[in-house]
Structure 1
Amino acid sequence: MIYRVFHPAPYLRDIVDHYWYSRIDLTVSVVQHYPTPLLQGMAFNFQKKPEQHSYNNKTLRLDQQAYLFGQPVSPRIITSNENGVDLLGVKFKPLGISRITGINMEYIADQIIAATDIWGNEAELLCDEMQSAPTLEKTIGVLEKFLIRKYLGTTLHYRINSVQKAIQLIKRSKGALPVQDLQLQTNTSRKTLERAFMHYLGLMPKLYSGIVRFNAIKQMMDHTPDLSVSDIAFGLEYYDNSHLAASFKRFSGITPTDYIETIKMERLKNAHFREYEATPPS
């Protein structure tokens, strides 16, 4: 298994969080459940090893070379190709895709769109040039030149500064800041802020805040699974346990208690595996 992360060039740090490369050799398909992430992304599958993404009662077979991923609003199930994974990806900042395409993100939120549907033949030429690069670093270099060109050619103006500030406030509060406070601190009306969020993110502020808050809960559980649900609810200012549980299940598909038990079982399994490696049977 190979997994590598690359930082973007300085000029792209406002739109790209990082690049990643994943390669895994398999003989059978692997099914993985993914709780709703904070993600806008792009993925390149040059080896054309199709995989399936299931969400919202639909299943997509990804068999083209490049796709754009809008912000998910529900958990997903991904079934890998039986021959393995060989992907290069981009994790964008929240306004990243909007900044390189200029399109209304309402049409991309919770969607997976082939890059050719956005850029046509230009996307095919990009893939060809990236594949011809001699190293992974140079492949990313080709991609960065494309992203910079798109970034420079896209003009965004309508309330983008208000949306950027609102996103920072949401992140800082871990999704707990009420929409009314977002309006006050960005000097916008509710309707104006909602319209701007729909255009640049494809989501209402309240829904985006909910996803941010869910990921804060998940991160807390991932790092401290011994905490009780009550402790987490209190720490993140939920009204009560049932309110937290309903929110968590919406974005993960399971209850907080079940998720915590899954983490504990995974840690126990890993601990036994490490112990086995340290003292193999004679």
Structure 2
Amino acid sequence: MSASHWILPAPELRPFIDRYWSWEGGSGDALPMMLPGTGAELFFHIGEPFLMGAPGALPDRAPRAHLNYAHDSPLMLVADGAVAFVSVRIRSGALRHLCAQPIAELANAQLDAREIWGIELAELSARLSETADLAARARLLDRWLLGLLAAHKRGHALIDDAALRLYYRHRDTQIDALAGHYRISRRHFERLFKQELGCTPKSFLRTARFHQTVRDLFLAPDSEILGLALDHGYYDQSHFIHEFSAFVGERPTRFFAHARNAHFYAPSLKEAGSGRSPR
């Protein structure tokens, strides 16, 4: 039987990191499809890494530590044996503050984290594997991430604000109005947003709406699909089916008939408050 636990990061990191979470299970505890989203997941495997790949493709063994920052494409995760990992859930728009690379180079890719953070990351991965519990691993991750933040935190605070508005207010936010709020042209806003986050504001909003709709459907499985989709700003049933199929490759009724939930779709701690932490 699989088991999942979470813990909050240090207070200084919470604008950038939603949580640390762990998962343990065996080959009989299949992981679900990892759907497109606006944040990122940084995985550290404690045991044998899972397999991952595009739906329908032959999966490959994941690196010992890897970053998934996928806005457009789903990813299948397969546990073919005993699997254990700890993951850093990076908030929407926050990855740019934690690395030196242009974010456009990291989007829609599954990358060996050593290619981004080098030998320091490899040493951290080894120490996490040697550490016994999630609280101790969280302290190691806190120190490392605070160091990254001190080294790489970027300017353009309006991008952080825009990402939050587009994510949490995706139904009511218009891109023209948002650019006007920052007193810049829409063209300049779009160029700056793509430079800093690797996608356009329109693409970000579209993905945020999809991700939150799917998350809410997982968290409230008895909800009526169309009603919840309309609540998130889809125009009608055909609009939601078209968007869902574009992201997932199948219709929503078929997907939810066999889909498995996981911590990828847990409630946002920003929305739920600080919650309870097992520290």
TM-score (norm 2): 0.81
Could you tell me which amino acid in structure 2 is paired with residue 164 of structure 1?
D
3-state SS, counterpart of residue 20 of structure 1: strand
Q: Distance in 2 between matches of 1:29 and 1:172?
A: 32
Q: Which runs of 5+ in 2 are unaligned?
A: 262-279
Q: Which has the larger radius of gyration?
A: 1
Among residues 100, 107, 111, which one is paired with 1:109 in the alignment? Answer: 107
Give the alignment partner of residue 204 of structure 2, picking from 208, 217, 234: 208
Query: What is the CA distance between 1:3 and its match in structure 2?
Result: 1.1
Identity %: 19
1:227 matched to 2:228: no
Amino acid at match of 2:109: Q
Report the residue type matching 2:184 in the other structure.
T
CA distance in 2, matches of 1:87, 1:239: 39
Greater relative contact order (CA < 8 Å, ≥ 6 in sequence):
2
Within 2, Cα distance between the matches of 1:115 and 1:195?
A: 27
Question: Aligned equivalents of 2:205 and 2:141: distance in 1?
Answer: 31
- Aligned pairs, number: 259
- What's the TM-score, normalizing by structure 1? 0.80
Q: CA RMSD in A?
A: 2.7
Confirm whether residue 71 of structure 1 aligns to residue 67 of structure 2: no
**In the TM superposition, what is the alpha-carbon distance from 1:232 to its structure 2 partner?**
4.0
Q: CA deviation at 1:182?
A: 2.0
* Residue aligning to 2:14: 13
Q: Does 1:39 align with 2:35?
A: no
Residue ranges of structure 1 left out of the alignment (5+ in a row): 267-282
What one-letter code is carried by the residue in structure 2 that aligns with 1:117?
E
Cα distance in 2, alignment partners of residues 58 and 104 from structure 1: 28
Cα deviation code 1:222-268 (max 9, x no counterpart): 31545252x345433433322221112112222233345457x99xx
Report what 2:84 is aligned to. Answer: 86
Aligned partners of 1:52, 1:128: CA distance in 2, in Å?
Answer: 20
Instruction: Report the AA paired with residue 146 of structure 1.
Output: W
Preserved CA contact (<8 Å) 1:52 1:78: yes
Deviation at 1:143, TM superposition (A): 1.8
Look up the SS of the partner of 2:86 in the other structure. Answer: strand
Residue matched to 1:143: 141
Q: What are the within-5 Å matches in structure 2 for residues 1-282 of structure 1? A: 1-26=2-27, 30=30, 32-47=32-47, 49-55=48-54, 61-80=60-79, 82-157=80-155, 160-222=156-218, 223=220, 225-227=222-224, 229=226, 231-232=227-228, 234-259=230-255, 261-262=257-258
